[in-house]
Structure 1
Amino acid sequence: MSKYDNPTFSIKLLHPAYWGVWFGFGLLAFIVNILPLALLLPLGRSLGQMAMPFAKSRVKVAKRNLELAFPDMPQHEIERIVLENFKNTGFALFETGITWFWPTWRLKRHIKVHNAEPIIECAKQKKGVLVCHPHALNLEVSARAFAILGYPGHGVYRPHSNPAYNLIQYWGRTHNGNKVIDRKNLKEMIRTLKTGERLFYLGDHDYGRKKAVFVPFFAVKEACTVTGANILARATDCAIIPMTGYRDSDRKWELYFDDPIHENFPKDDVEAGATYMNKAIEKAILRKLEQWMWLHKRFKTPKDENQAKGLLYK
């Protein structure tokens, strides 16, 4: 048995210790299937706004991220974006439920696609694609929508410590042909790309110093940035296609594919590669600034190892 085996159902998961997880996801499935999207959206956004007084530390993080990324942005605009970001975070709970529990026909009605030709051409050529997507709050929807188009991919994930939660998470993320890969299983990521499949790559968070460099990200000149794209591109000679998934004003989820960037990607220079990737990610985030995960401490790791983590958030 491999340490990377996918989770399977066991009678042990019916133990009372897991009843709360089963009930919580059962309730979420019921709510998203019984209520129309026109009601789910304002309900979720209201929940996000109501959570702000109880999540003051995250409000502070979101504001600080925006101040660092956009130093010339007026304070009133920062306040507006933070409020919208929390509202969208509240709805993201329902978006997860929608992704995991909606039937395909229902979700398909709410998807719009732009510039999918590069993905289609790579599929015809059986060329692996590193699909670069930012940590948008509706990421779960984007991943399944991508599969509904007929081009399922492999998502990199961290297994949950609660086995019942982990099983539900695995089941929810593997609809329509999508698969998941443990984030530590680099060998499987390389195999996926070499065999002409698609791998979702989220390189826009601060994951610490390991396999990272310090390059510009928005206005921050030395942002800790992972070098996974270089590692995978060198090992597989895959295509690299940035993708943005966001929700528009018509309650549709839009998938927007940028043109491939692998021909000019400096895969043999990790700093240049990370800088190049950050530029592509910035473009994707700016399409819907309020729908990116600003609540994450994007700039927590300082370049100077003698400095404490999170110093910019003090």
Structure 2
Amino acid sequence: MPYLQTLIYWITDRLIRGAIRLLLVLPFDRRRRVAGWLMSRIVSPLGGYDDRIRENLALIFPDLPQAEVRRLVRRVPENLGQSTIELYSAQDFLDRIRAEPLTGAGVEALAEAHRTGRPVMLVTGHIGNYDAIRAALITRGYRVGGLYRPMGNPFFNTHYVAAISAIGKPLFPRGRKGLSDMVRFLRSGGMLGVVLDQYMGDGAPLTFMGREALTALSSAELALRYDALVVPTYGIRREDGGFDLIVEAPIPHGTPEAMTQALNDSLEGQVRAHMDQWLWTHRRWKVSRRKGLKR
């Protein structure tokens, strides 16, 4: 890694670590509010996230009133800031999640898989707090592992992995390094948490929010290979500081494309219902945007 890039990564990481240490001094609920404010009012404008949110909203909802656009430009980073500090507040987060009930049509199917040792793919998106279901199931004694994408900043990645490990293990990095351990865990009857809604250059051209979005088929492919349930799950934030822990009915086995499209459709329903809790900063529709520019 070039020296200048390493130096930038190190300085950025020191600033992030310092901010996190200061926030952790505060009581949990105040900590979340302050983290949301800092992300929304300082980090997001300086980091260009505000512009990216506007671009994505213009692509998907071109007729959205400007007042709503302005609200989402503030609320989306607030949710991101709150979710970030929650991941660094493992015990407080677990204590809050522990009291929340699991709801939805898939709760009993999930419990049955736990009793019988059937593998499960727990699929979610970057909405609410995507680690809430993993935390909730771990507190109930379920064997839940997590698949994560290592951060580009190696200094930040070290304490990020330590933070999410404090919520529960095992964790598997995306790529060849974690693949064999992940498959072994799944085959043993484990439940694997996967976040689906990232752009994948080698993904299938499926649709999400009415636009083409390249989407990884790996969750469905693993489920078919190891006879795993595929269960859409969400941790939706409530105004009172708690979470609605939603376990939807399992996706029927079929082709990987059909199963993954059903997962996209499930997440789309949650995004439309909770617009301010989805991560509109992602470059989710690179292909759709390029096609739009060519017209």
Q: How many angstroms does 1:258 deviate by? A: 0.7
2:118 corresponds to 1:127: yes
Asked if 2 retains the 8 angstrom alpha-carbon contact of 1:229 and 1:273, the reply is no
Correspondent of 1:292 among 261, 274, 278? 278
Deviation at 1:155, TM superposition (A): 1.1
Q: Which residue number corresponds to residue 130 of structure 2?
A: 139
In structure 2, the gaps of 5 or more residues are 1-8
Secondary structure at the aligned position of 1:174 is classed as: helix
- Residue 71 of structure 1 contacts residue 219 of structure 1 at CA under 8 Å; is this kept in 2? no
Structure 1 match to 2:3 = none
Q: Deviations over 1:192-212 (max 9, x none)?
A: 22211101121111121x2x1
Q: Describe how 1:213-232 pairs up with structure 2 within 5 A.
A: 213-220=204-211, 222-232=212-222
Other-structure match for 2:261: 275
Q: How many residues align?
A: 281
Quick one: distance in 2 between partners of 1:18 and 1:66?
Answer: 33
Kept in 2: contact 1:70–1:218 (CA 8 A): no
Matches of 2:127 and 2:69 in 1, distance apart? 18
The within-5 A match list for 1:33-44 is: 34-44=25-35
Tell me what 2:6 maps to: none
Matches for 1:125-274 after TM superposition, within 5 Å: 125-136=116-127, 138-160=129-151, 165-175=156-166, 177-185=168-176, 186-208=179-201, 210=202, 212-220=203-211, 222-261=212-251, 264-266=252-254, 268=255, 270-274=256-260
Report how far residue 19 of structure 1 moved.
Answer: 9.8
In structure 1, distance between residues paired with 2:119 and 2:182: 10
Letter in 1 for 2:96: L
Shift of 1:68: 2.4
How far 1:176 sits from its partner (Å)?
5.5
**C-alpha displacement of 1:172:** 2.0
TM normalised by structure 1 equals 0.77
SS in 2 for 1:119: helix
The one-letter amino acid paired with 1:202 is V
C-alpha displacement of 1:105: 6.5
Residue 250 of structure 1, CA deviation = 0.8
Against the structure 1 CA distance between its residues 233 and 20, is the aligned structure 2 distance closer, same or farther, given a 3 Å change threshold? closer
Instruction: Find 2:46's aligned residue among 54, 60, 71.
Output: 54
Identity of matched residues, % = 25
State whether residues 253 and 259 of structure 2, in contact with CA within 8 Å, keep that contact through their aligned partners in structure 1.
yes
CA distance 1:182–1:216, shift in 2 (3 Å): same
What CA deviation, in whole Å up to 9, does each residue of 1:198-231 have, x standing for no partner?
Answer: 01121111121x2x111211121x2211111232
RMSD: 3.0
Give how far 1:108 is off.
4.3
Which protein has the bigger helix share? 2
- Name the CA distance, whole Å, in 2 between partners of 1:300 and 1:251: 34
Other structure's SS at 2:89 match: helix
Q: 1:287 to 1:152 in 2, by over 3 A?
A: farther
Gaps of 5+ in 1: 1-16, 303-307
TM-superposed CA distance for 1:163, in Å, is 5.7
Specify the alignment match of 1:5 in structure 2.
Answer: none
Is 44-53 or 195-204 further displaced after alignment?
A: 44-53
Q: CA deviation at 1:122?
A: 0.8
The structure 1 residue matched to 2:65, chosen from 55, 58, 74, is 74
Q: Distance in 1 between matches of 2:92 and 2:155?
A: 22
Q: Name the CA distance, whole Å, in 1 between partners of 2:195 and 2:280.
A: 15
User: Is the CA contact (8 Å cut-off) linking 2:199 and 2:285 kept in structure 1?
Assistant: yes
Specify whether residues 164 and 228 from structure 1 end up closer, same or farther in structure 2 by C-alpha distance, changes over 3 A only.
same
- Please give the alpha-carbon distance, in whole angstroms, between the structure 2 residues aligned to 1:30 and 1:75: 35
Aligned 8 A contact 1:152 1:176 in 2: no
Matched to 1:213, the amino acid is A
- Bigger shift: residues 279-288 or 123-132: 279-288
Q: 1:158 & 1:148 partners in 2: Cα distance?
A: 24
Which region of structure 1 is more displaced relative to structure 2, 226-235 or 38-47? 38-47
